[in-house]
Structure 1
Amino acid sequence: MLKGKRMNRIKWLGLILLFVITSAACKKSVKGETQVYPTPDPVGTYALGADVSWITEMEAAGKKFYNAAGEQQDLLKILKDKGINTIRLRVWVNPTSGYCNTADVLAKAKRAKAANMRLLIDFHYSDSWADPGQQNKPAAWVSQDFATLKTSVYNHTVDVLTVLKINKIVPEWVQVGNETNNGMLWNDGKASTNMKNFADLVLSGYNGVKAVDPATKVVVHISNGYDNSLFRWIFDGLKNNGAKWDVIGMSMYPTATDWSAKNTQCLTNMTDMVSRYGSEVMICELGMPVTDAVACKAFIKDLIAKNKSLSNNKGLGVFYWEPQSYNSWSGYKLGAFDDTGKPTVAMDGFLTPPTP
């Protein structure tokens, strides 16, 4: 009899525990229906990310963000409920607007930390945009000789990361340059002109990152992740000239009609980067026209699966670039929020498990 009572008590305790877990996993939307929100992968596992570097500038201009039910919320809350667990932030040296300088990056990094999100820092080593078409030196560095330029890269890297560390923020990853298809800090560091100079600049950034925290992984980031010949040229050149890195970063911006073929080419390239250099691989940027949200969702899901399939867990994560840039903010039309400031179905590509 005593044994039977004990068994009944255990059954009741089990039912109570099940009820508590179920209740915690669900919440009511403003319309009243029960919704189950995804739990982001914990720190140390796969990164589902978004670059939201425009967030402070958009908010200052009066832009607001809303969940699918039309409820105004903080952007990071909306993204987290879509499965995003990591934030990427770009750093400019001395931008005229002030946005993306050290103080602005710190403010955004604090918000990411408060939201319990991970962090990727992206050094452009410029006062403005650095990409395959432009890698302009900061104004303050223009007249420097190459030896001083290497020191400036090191010092700038250390200075920004030290400010973050003082505030108890240590990024898991740091990009040394942004989409450096032909090097950076032109013309001194243009890869097609002087690969050794480019490698020396990457090494200066690498050493700066490791000086602040040796556990932070250094990313070298190239666009067109489907272009294996470009990646072999850059990374063979860096390796042969003494540069160091931990992670190979890629960008992927296909169309609604060619994304499947490009993803297949990207998988071939990622697999080659793992076998050729032993590197981990991350998709640091992706995007597709906001008008192609359904195709974009399929593209994201497929690219995540391909990146995750790399041997020895070498695939680290994927990042949407400025998904919140609705109403073509700054003329950008590859976001993943609609004209009312709500996420499109494209963002469901990050959900784990994906929505049907």
Structure 2
Amino acid sequence: MIKYFQLLIITLLFFSCADKTVTPEFAKGADVSWLPQMEATGYEFKDEEGHKADVLQLLKDRGMNSVRLRVFVNPSSDPRSGHCSKEETVDMAVRAQEMGMDVMINFHYSDSWADPGKQNKPQAWEDLSFKKLKEKVYEHTYQVVSAVKAAGVTPKWVQVGNEIPGGMLWPEGSTEHWDQLGQLLNAGYDATKAVDERIQVIVHVDEGDNNEKFVDFYDNATEQGVKYDIIGLSYYPYWVEKDYTETIDDLVFNLNDMVKRYDKDVMIVEVGGLYDQVENTRNLLEATLKAVKAVPDNRGLGVMYWEPQGEKSWSGYSLSAWQEDGTPSPALDAFKKN
């Protein structure tokens, strides 16, 4: 009789545990790809008491648990528009993991910046046939992700292309040639999954509040059989010359529409506000975090600030979130609250 009750209790415990769904940790993080170059040029990051401090610890203290790292193919040594090689990315991934942070690898498929206004092929790939170009996308993706994993870090996410509403690797991979763009994106996806099936692949478009742009892009991606796990969005009210209060409702609608329309998770992989408008930027971040967290069924996965530590005197970038004295902007406390 005792054995019967013991078996019954074990059975009940098993099914009780099996019924519980595990909610993934909400990603709160930042692209910090300038960090090694900032440190190499002698820039000193400080805590609120004015003591020299590790940037990743400062971000972690503000509630961040993830980093995003861009990768260029054959970059220059320019501190602001170069670096981000495979080797440097591996080093940063290891450093982030040692801090207890998850890692996203962001492939630009270029020797420098790729964004909606430019998607230049790496110089070494310029004269390749389309077949060879596709092979290079697979090879480069596989080599970088494999190198990161061999160093003991399995990226949680890999982003195939950076802000690609017009495609990538122009002209062959532009949206004027969607059949070819689809093949290039799938080459990146296949290479990532060949390293580790658990890595989630992101396809990323800018203007996260612009539903029409997203529907056009992802309808075409669906038609071409593009494989991906997550829809990545940028959200910068500044670049559309509006305050976040004018665009946040559109972002909320688009996040929810993407999930319903394509049955994909969503993630803000870039967000930012003006460094010298601290209260407004903090409010922007709080509203963005709230919008993503409110997506039903935990399908809003997270929010990443783009280069908060890229203080303007070093980077020239006005949408960083760092102060002139080397300390974090209070705007980043939004991540702490959420």
TM-score exceeds 0.5: yes
Instruction: Give runs of aligned pairs for residues 171-210 of structure 1, distance below 5 A.
Output: 171-191=155-175, 193-210=176-193
Q: Which residue pairs with 2:15 in the alignment?
A: none
Query: Quick check: 1:130 aligned with 2:114?
Result: yes
The alignment partner of 1:312 has SS state of helix
Per mean C-alpha deviation after superposition, the further-off stretch among 256-265 and 292-301 is 256-265
Query: Quick check: 1:99 aligned with 2:83?
Result: yes
Q: Does 1 or 2 have the higher relative contact order (CA < 8 Å, sep 6+)?
A: 2
Q: Could you tell me how far apart the structure 1 residues matched to 2:105 and 2:117 are?
A: 21
Q: Structure 1 residue aligned with 2:327, among 330, 342, 355?
A: 342
Per-residue displacement from partner, 1:325-354 (whole Å, max 9, x unpaired)? 11343321111011111111110110135x
Q: Structure 2 residue aligned with 1:69, among 49, 52, 68?
A: 49
Offset at 1:175? Answer: 0.3
Q: Could you tell me how far apart the structure 1 residues matched to 2:49 and 2:23 are?
A: 29
Q: Could you tell me how far apart the structure 1 residues matched to 2:23 and 2:108 are?
A: 26
Q: Which residue pairs with 2:138 in the alignment?
A: 154
User: Number of matched residues?
Assistant: 311
In the TM superposition, structure 1's runs of 4+ consecutive aligned residues that sit over 2 Å from their partners are 327-330
Offset at 1:261? Answer: 2.2
Q: How well do the aligned residues superpose, as a CA RMSD in angstroms? A: 1.4
Q: Which residue pairs with 1:217 in the alignment?
A: 200
Q: Which residue pairs with 2:66 in the alignment?
A: 86
Per-residue displacement from partner, 1:58-90 (whole Å, max 9, x unpaired)? 001100101122121110010000111000000
Could you list the runs of 5+ residues in structure 1 that have no partner in the other structure? 1-41
* TM-score, length basis structure 1: 0.85
Instruction: Give runs of aligned pairs for residues 107-122 of structure 1, distance below 5 A.
Output: 107-122=91-106
Query: Quick check: 1:253 aligned with 2:233?
Result: no
Compare CA radii of gyration and give the structure with the larger one.
1
Could you list the runs of 5+ residues in structure 2 that have no partner in the other structure? 1-21
Q: Which residue pairs with 1:9 in the alignment?
A: none
Rate the CA distance shift 1:328–1:43 in 2: closer, same or farther, 3 A.
Answer: farther
Per-residue displacement from partner, 1:197-238 (whole Å, max 9, x unpaired)? 111111110001100000000000111000111101111101
Per-residue displacement from partner, 1:115-144 (whole Å, max 9, x unpaired)? 010011100000000000000000111011
Q: What letter matches 1:350 in structure 2?
A: F
Q: Does the 8 A contact of 2:311 with 2:322 survive in 1?
A: yes
Q: Could you tell me how far apart the structure 1 residues matched to 2:75 and 2:251 are?
A: 33
Q: Does the 8 A contact of 1:288 with 1:334 survive in 2?
A: yes
The alignment partner of 1:290 has SS state of coil
Q: What letter matches 1:234 in structure 2?
A: F
Q: Which residue pairs with 1:56 in the alignment?
A: 36
Q: Does the 8 A contact of 1:326 with 1:340 survive in 2?
A: no
